[in-house]
Chains A and B, each alone.
Chain A
Amino acid sequence: MRRAPFARRLAALLAAALLAAFGLGGCQGSKGQETSAPPEKASSGIATKLSGPVEITFWHAMTGKHEEALRTIAENFTKEHPDIRIKLEAQGNYGDLQQKLTAAAKSHTLPVMAQVIETWVTDFRQNGLVADLTPYIENPEIGWNKQELDDIVEVFRKANQWDGKYYSLPFSKSTQILYYNTDYFQELGLQPPKTWDELKEAAKKLTGEKNGRRVIGMGFENSVGWQFHQWVKQAGGRYVDEATGEVLFDSPEGREALGFLVGLFQEEVARLAGEDQYVSNPFGRGDVGMYIGSSAGIPFVAKAAEGNIHWAAAPVPAGEEKAVAFAGNAVAVFDSAKPEEKLAAWLFIKYLLNTDNTVFWAKSTGYLPIRYSALETKEWQDYVAQNPAYGVGTRQFDYGFFDPRIPGFDAALKEIDKEIQAALLGQKSADAALRDAARAAQAAIDRAKERAK
């Protein structure tokens, strides 16, 4: 997942702060409840049959071709369930969507369901806004059996569980992969790096003059601060404790991770994307030998590279441990919806996430299939044979992880990003940056915790 532009995020932040001041951040919805746990509901209290036609609104952040694909799925669904109509409403990018959901929650005009990011769900859940989907999943009539549920890729499933219950389900998922320039790699007799040492070695060899062009071996996205979690985990360290909100990366492992990255920059074999925002452009014109970025960027790399360079993708190299971040979004149903609307939304989610549709979605958008069975389908295998880069992400399922879903993490991330960048650009020593990042991140998380009380 990439971050929204600064101005947009600032606006979202302001709106959030305002809502906090108004008391929504506190305990709107969970009236009189002291704990952060949502009100318990009898799992039998769900509707399992529709008594008439239902229309449900689905707010999403998909644009252009992604939106078209979503529309196709919704239309096909209505053909199978003529009594349910899905009203798709695009709400801009993720920042806009979050802002709108916040405003809608405050004014009690939430849609029936929405595309969400798991970190938001923590907030929604604390405020009693999202419906617990577990009773639907476990219902013998309309739910999934154990096998079907286990078919959803484990790392995605876990990212949508809170205290063993599902408040959202994975939908559009992406991961980090290594993009590399096959022309340069062949010329130098290099193989895609599998370890940190090989990565550094390759970066050194790739750096230099090539056909009158200054090439830098390794590229990092401007949002490298978000990747830092991955590097810390690879060094064997821990990042932030999801249970306590304690920031843990100011550790020997954290120092090792940042030290490694800073080392690449000090030896001038690595660069940031810079004004292009994403490395896909510099990589596509041959200025960068390889880079680690989101698998959702494959279409952009392909476009930028066309006619300029040849390229391929490989799994992210490993450190002490193998660890790769998975990101993206999920779908959630809001508790304010009527029982029949919730049922209709569940039926749609079930359809949206079935094997055929997850393959269709992955093929049309570049996101990853979210089911193991999808990887076995002929359709997907043919597709990957044609487009090998799309198959790389799914090879990393077994050591995937996701960001802690705690309040204040977005704000903490911003602080971390700032400090990591300062270290990479040589404006600050690695140790000082790490210490300051940890301190600022902890403060941001503590503030959010304080507000949530």
Chain B
Amino acid sequence: MVRDALSKGTIYLLLSLGGVLMLLPFLWMLSTSLKAPNQVAVLPPAWVPVPPHWENYAEALRMAPFGRYFVNSVIVTTLSTIGELLTTILAAYAFARIRFWGREVLFSLLLGTMMVPGEVLLVPNYLTLTKLGWIDTYAALIVPWTASVFAIFLYRQHLLSVPRELGYAARVDGAGDFRFLWEILVPITKPALVTIALLKAIGSWNAFLWPLIVTNSREMRTLPVGLTAFTTEAGTAYELLMAASAFVIVPMVVLFLLFQRHIVEGISRAGIKG
């Protein structure tokens, strides 16, 4: 018993240490966001800025139209997450449950596209959007991101792990593919869907290069683009950048705290039969 408690204690101690280490950059961000400019680079770092410069936050928010950026980020993140969930559910169901000609080849091709680095796709995608007349519109920010091969793959593995008998039973009861999917499969695979949605939301919230490339006007920009307001070619105003960053990550931290249980569950169960 004593030895158990001891080893447990050691484990917790190590885990706590690891946790603190992981939190350091986050704490540095919060601490720096309250420093005066001449305190930012002092060595050793002063973790508790005295006095705290709360006005950094006001000043940071004044440097760019962050209110508008915030609204745009919320719109883009919400719609592209909903869109991705829809395409993922339908595509993954088809690949997992419906037999059709060329299914395996098609799925391999889809997985193959994950090998193409995003940078290479940037210019062709830009050209496509120009042809569609979508530059500087919400469509450009949202539509290209409403499908994700990784999400389809992840969800397909989940669907494969659901016993086939469930499908037969539903069929006997008279449910078609559509009803079986929405009324039985979706509810029992909720953790996986929450994981997919969260990964998507975080990715979409943080996206920088794409929103920068496909939009031009201030009215269409998102938060990460707004963060560039603090960097010039001769240096960075770290205290303001960190203040704005702290403000930008709050929604994601809240989302994560609300759903973290599902994330772990969703990932750890992927591909496990049963």
Contacts and interface: CB of A to CB of B under 8 A. Distances in A.
Contact of B228 (A19, A63, A89, A294): A63
B233 A93 contact: yes
A19 B123 contact: yes
Interface string B221-248: 0000100111111110100000000000
A354 B149 CA distance: 54
A18 B170 CA distance: 51
B217 interface: yes
Given A15-B119, A285-B41, A100 B235 contact: no
A107 B64 CA distance: 29
Contact of A66 (B122, B212, B232): B232
B123 A282 contact: no
A321 to B, nearest CB: 26
Interface in B36-84: 36-38, 40-43, 63-64
Contact of A300 (B42, B43, B119, B234): B234
A303 B37 contact: yes
Chain A interface main SS type: helix
B237 A64 contact: yes
Contacts of A14: 117, 119-120, 122
B213 A285 contact: no
Contacts of A99: 122, 213
B171 interface: no
Given A2-B234, A103-B126, A281 B225 contact: no
Contact of B232 (A18, A285, A296): A296
B136 to A, nearest CB: 9
B37 A91 contact: no
B223 to A, nearest CB: 14
Contact of B234 (A91, A103, A278): A278
Interface string A292-325: 0010110110011111100000000000000000
Interface in B101-133: 117, 119-120, 122-123, 126-127, 130-131
B209 interface: yes
Given A67-B229, A92-B212, A306-B37, A18 B42 contact: no
A59 B67 CA distance: 23
Given A11-B119, A14-B119, A99-B122, 18 more contacts: A14-B122, A15-B122, A63-B230, A63-B232, A64-B64, A92-B225, A96-B209, A96-B228, A106-B123, A106-B126, A109-B130, A280-B234, A284-B41, A294-B233, A294-B234, A304-B40, A305-B38, A306-B38
11 contacts: A15-B122, A19-B123, A91-B212, A96-B212, A103-B123, A107-B131, A276-B41, A296-B234, A303-B37, A305-B38, A366-B234
Contacts of B63: 63-65
A48 interface: no
B213 A100 contact: yes
A316 B66 CA distance: 41
A133 interface: no
B230 A64 contact: yes
B233 A1 contact: yes
Interface of A: 1-2, 10-11, 14-15, 18-19, 22, 57, 59, 63-67, 87, 89-94, 96, 99-100, 102-103, 106-109, 174, 276-278, 280-282, 284-285, 287, 294, 296-297, 299-300, 303-308, 366
B228 A93 contact: yes
B233 A303 contact: no
Nearest to A296: B234
Interface in B195-212: 209, 212
Interface centre among B41, B122, B209, B213 (most CB of A within 10 A): B41
A11 B209 contact: yes
Interface centre among B40, B131, B233 (most CB of A within 10 A): B233
B269 interface: no
Contacts of B213: 96, 99-100, 103
Interface centre among A63, A87, A304 (most CB of B within 10 A): A63
Nearest to A61: B233
A106 B120 contact: no
Contacts of A67: 229
B135 interface: yes
Given A1-B233, A18-B123, A93-B231, A281 B209 contact: no
Contacts of B237: 64, 303
A15 B235 CA distance: 25
Contact of B235 (A96, A278, A285): A278
A59 B213 CA distance: 12
B120 A18 contact: yes
B216 interface: yes
Contacts of A108: 130
Contacts of A91: 212, 216
B127 A304 contact: no
Contacts of A304: 37-38, 40-41
A300 B229 contact: no
B190 interface: no
A446 B13 CA distance: 59
A190 B232 CA distance: 33
B218 interface: yes
A366 B184 CA distance: 64
Contacts of A94: 233
Given A15-B122, A15-B123, A64 B130 contact: no
**Pairs A-B, 8 closest by C-beta atoms:** A281-B41, A300-B235, A303-B37, A296-B234, A107-B130, A297-B234, A14-B119, A306-B38
Nearest to A18: B123
B143 to A, nearest CB: 17
B123 A2 contact: no
B224 to A, nearest CB: 10
Nearest to B118: A11
A284 B234 CA distance: 14
Contacts of B123: 15, 18-19, 22, 102-103, 106
